[in-house]
Structure 1
Amino acid sequence: MAALEAAGGPDCARFVGGCVRNALIGAPVADVDIATTLKPEETDRAIRAAGLKAVPTGIAHGTVTAVSERQPFEITTLRRDVSTDGRNATVAFTDDWAEDAARRDFRVNALYADGEGRVFDPTGEGIADAAAGRIVFVGDPETRIQEDYLRILRFFRFFAWYGRGEPDAAALAACRALVSGMSRLSAERVSKELMTLLAAPDPRVAMAAMAEAGVLAQILPEAVAGPLLEAAVEQGTDPVIRLMTLLPSDERIVRAASARLRLPNSTRDRLAGAAVAAPAIGLTMSDPEVRAAVYRFGGRAVADALHLRMAERPAQAGDGRRLLALAEAWPRPSMPVGGRDLARLGVEPGPETGRLLKAFEDRWIADDFPADGHAERLAVLVRP
């Protein structure tokens, strides 16, 4: 801030958006963004003159990133929209703080603060909204959404994280009316917003409102928001498990949804693994049955499937937690014999080798993975 003010004078730079909002409500601040009346090239020079690192991350849109003590600060010139197409905006730079505020999405995000901590609220409602847990669009909701249809998802995401009570009625009506415009959005933008929403401490009200407004059906037509999600929220905050509760336990459907949303491979594999394992998983399993399932499906898949079963039967959650601890802690062993062991017993390589190894593995699993006696068991299978 001192570097910018040295170049542009007092009040040329203010903290903006989430860092101000979170500071006001006592929430952790992760990213610090700054707005300035300086033009991007002036910002760049000011940062370098102060001995800081400057990265031209978005010069065309007015953004330069300053790096101080290894922490990035995005610094963006005040802007006004010239034209929008529902995804991208053509902007012009301005020195009018009110114009910059008018193009932002929600009143709680149109808050500014100077280096002394004085807060500026151009809409006149942002501070009150932050205190009350209201997520309200700046100006006309439909206009804000038509500028960028991702704001539909951002509305529900911000409500999940910062909202209280019931979502704003005018915002919901606008989301419902314009939901089809979300088809213009990239899958990556949609999936990122969805997963961040699901990671909120309690996304249930936001998800129910999304479903009622037709937004959930637009982005994830396979999904059903209901009791399973309700129960999953009580179990923990893992957004992947919460997403599992919205989808059927069908590997084909899960993989198709993952591909359409372009979910990360790790998320796709967890969803598919749980769908494959789920039919074999129950909350009345014995310890040997849990170990057998972990061996066949993997510990992560079994644990995720157990979370699904616990969501289905909350009254048996105690049993599920015990099985979950076993599934997560048991080290999956490797098959203790192989083709070479059979060769030493005189078995020629070929189909018979595969049949004998499969028979051995089935017995080894049924006997709960004994640690020794493998040669004797294999010899019994080989004997005519």
Structure 2
Amino acid sequence: MTQIDPATAPWAGREGFGGLIEALGAGDVRIVGGAVRDTLLGLPVADLDLATRHRPETVVERLAAAAIRAVPTGIAHGTITAVLPDGPVEVTTLRRDVSTDGRHATVAFSDDWREDAARRDFTMNALYADPTTGELFDYFGGLDDLAARRVRFIGDPLQRIAEDHLRILRFFRFLARFGDTPEPAGLAACTARARDLMALSRERIADELLKLLVAPGAVWVAALMVERGIFAPVLPEIADTARLAALAEREAAAGIAPHAIRRLAALIPADSATAGDIAARLRLSNAQRKRLESAAVPHDGSDPRTLAYRISVDAAVDRLLLAGASVEPLADWSLPRFPLTGGALVERGIRKGPLVAATLRRIEDAWVAEGFPGEDRLAALTDAAVAQTLNEDSSRNA
């Protein structure tokens, strides 16, 4: 293929996009990276990124002249975000790396498309397309690699990893998303330099890992990473992928979408304290930490709906799937709300304070144990609990 049909391209018809291209000059700007790759693969395109010969200050001037809001989101690295009605578009000046330290790069601006392509990680991410004609520009065999489902570094893999250590994890993430078999030179380089991951921030590691775990090839790629010792420097707890493989089969059988935190729980020991330590190490959000800790608690065999009521539907689904228990009882089931309040018990003569809370808890436990019965049965449970509490209270004060 030498071009993308401009009439059916994902960017065709996006409000404001034509005006952006006109403002920058069609011959001086190209769509680059993931949008081109995913279009060629027939996948949805979420983000549009543009590369341009213009310097950042020129981009800002041209967008201002066209009444397009420009935000200098990464101006030191040449990136300006154009705010369009259909969403933001990043516009980045062509550049080359001057120096790198494995985490950050110092860049110089360029007007050479090939030079810009040469600093990118994989050949399939170094494809450019003319936004008007759809003509494709491929400097390093990315089209052939894409057709072969081959994730291949541009140039020497060891050098590319030395420039940015995160490329080790990106290699495996892209392999899980797009690849069929690992490219030998890249795999060997990632294996040899796995300890470089220790120099990265844990947030960057977590971001790549969680994306990898929901990719189509996550199971076999995670197994390959364990075999090659990729996790060992930063997550030594991950030593086996059998639970992940079983979980993926159960998710598919139940028609439940993969969830990164649930899949991470399948890779680590089934222990809440260990899960909390890993969550802290990866700088996960509070919500992610709580879900991981909950998923790491072994299922106690309780009724699925009771479990969901106690810990939430999502958390219950995690535990049930990880344990190989049925999630069918939770399909199309809405979490019920306990309708009774403490005020209603006070009106019936129970003294305010601990007695109200204890009685309310007793009624709720009985209601849950009976499968969330309707109003009439709840009233009967309430009558019995209130009578018991009043009787016990009277006996204590006699």
Which range, TM-score by smaller chain? 0.7 to 0.9
Question: Residue in 1 aligned with 2:378?
Answer: 371
1:115-154 matches, within 5 Å, as: 115=131, 116-123=133-140, 125-154=141-170
Question: Residue in 2 aligned with 1:245?
Answer: 266
Question: Residue in 1 aligned with 2:63?
Answer: 47
Give the letter aligned to residue 199 of structure 1.
Answer: V
Given that 2:299 and 2:320 are in contact with CA atoms closer than 8 Å, whether structure 1 keeps it comes out as: no
Given that 1:19 and 1:29 are in contact with CA atoms closer than 8 Å, whether structure 2 keeps it comes out as: yes
Give the letter aligned to residue 215 of structure 2.
Answer: A
Gapped regions of structure 1 (runs ≥ 5) = 311-316
Change (3 A) 1:84 1:329: same
Question: Residue in 1 aligned with 2:336?
Answer: 331
Given that 1:40 and 1:59 are in contact with CA atoms closer than 8 Å, whether structure 2 keeps it comes out as: yes
1:266 Cα offset (Å): 2.0
Please state if 1:104 is matched with 2:110. no
Question: Residue in 2 aligned with 1:21?
Answer: 37
1:130 Cα offset (Å): 0.8
Give the letter aligned to residue 304 of structure 2.
Answer: V
Q: 1:183 aligns with which of 188, 192, 198?
A: 198
1:104 Cα offset (Å): 0.6
Instruction: After superposition, give the CA deviation of every residue in 1:74-132 in whole Å (9 maximum; x if it has no partner).
Output: 11111111100111000001111121111110011111111311111111x10001111
1:298-377 matches, within 5 Å, as: 298-310=312-324, 320-325=326-331, 328-333=333-338, 336=340, 338=342, 341=345, 345=349, 349=353, 363-369=366-372, 370-373=377-380, 374-377=382-385
1:299 Cα offset (Å): 3.0
Give the letter aligned to residue 181 of structure 1.
Answer: D
Change (3 A) 1:337 1:49: closer
Give the letter aligned to residue 269 of structure 1.
Answer: K
Give the letter aligned to residue 248 of structure 1.
Answer: P
Partners of 1:212 and 1:361 in 2: CA distance? 49
Give the letter aligned to residue 265 of structure 1.
Answer: N
Partners of 1:248 and 1:46 in 2: CA distance? 55
1:202 Cα offset (Å): 3.4
Question: Residue in 1 aligned with 2:7?
Answer: none
Give the letter aligned to residue 384 of structure 2.
Answer: E
Given that 1:345 and 1:379 are in contact with CA atoms closer than 8 Å, whether structure 2 keeps it comes out as: no
Please state if 1:79 is matched with 2:99. no
1:46 Cα offset (Å): 1.6
TM-score, scaled to structure 2: 0.82
Instruction: After superposition, give the CA deviation of every residue in 1:139-160 in whole Å (9 maximum; x if it has no partner).
Output: 0001101111111111111111
Partners of 1:368 and 1:12 in 2: CA distance? 66
Question: Residue in 1 aligned with 2:84?
Answer: 68
Q: Percent identity?
A: 45
Change (3 A) 1:362 1:112: closer
Larger fraction in helix = 1
TM-score, scaled to structure 1: 0.85
State the superposition RMSD in angstroms. Answer: 2.7
Change (3 A) 1:359 1:170: same
Gapped regions of structure 2 (runs ≥ 5) = 1-16, 252-256
Given that 1:179 and 1:215 are in contact with CA atoms closer than 8 Å, whether structure 2 keeps it comes out as: yes
Given that 2:73 and 2:81 are in contact with CA atoms closer than 8 Å, whether structure 1 keeps it comes out as: yes
Tell me whether 30-39 or 199-208 shows the greater mean CA deviation: 199-208
Partners of 1:30 and 1:364 in 2: CA distance? 46
Given that 2:350 and 2:389 are in contact with CA atoms closer than 8 Å, whether structure 1 keeps it comes out as: no
Given that 1:280 and 1:293 are in contact with CA atoms closer than 8 Å, whether structure 2 keeps it comes out as: no
Instruction: After superposition, give the CA deviation of every residue in 1:28-61 in whole Å (9 maximum; x if it has no partner).
Output: 1111111111111111112222232211111110
Give the letter aligned to residue 250 of structure 1.
Answer: D
1:296 Cα offset (Å): 3.4
Change (3 A) 1:216 1:332: farther
Q: 1:201 aligns with which of 216, 239, 258?
A: 216
Please state if 1:212 is matched with 2:227. yes
1:262 Cα offset (Å): 1.4
Q: 2:207 aligns with which of 189, 192, 196?
A: 192
Partners of 1:81 and 1:294 in 2: CA distance? 52
Partners of 1:339 and 1:28 in 2: CA distance? 53
Partners of 1:176 and 1:377 in 2: CA distance? 64
Report the 3-state secondary structure (helix = DSSP H, G, I; strand = E; otherwise coil) of the residue aligned with 1:329.
Answer: coil
Question: Residue in 2 aligned with 1:314?
Answer: none
Partners of 2:126 and 2:82 in 1: CA distance? 22
Give the letter aligned to residue 387 of structure 2.
Answer: A
Given that 1:37 and 1:77 are in contact with CA atoms closer than 8 Å, whether structure 2 keeps it comes out as: yes
Instruction: After superposition, give the CA deviation of every residue in 1:138-193 in whole Å (9 maximum; x if it has no partner).
Output: 000011011111111111111111112x2111111111111111122122211111
Given that 2:226 and 2:238 are in contact with CA atoms closer than 8 Å, whether structure 1 keeps it comes out as: no
Give the letter aligned to residue 141 of structure 1.
Answer: P
Please state if 1:92 is matched with 2:139. no
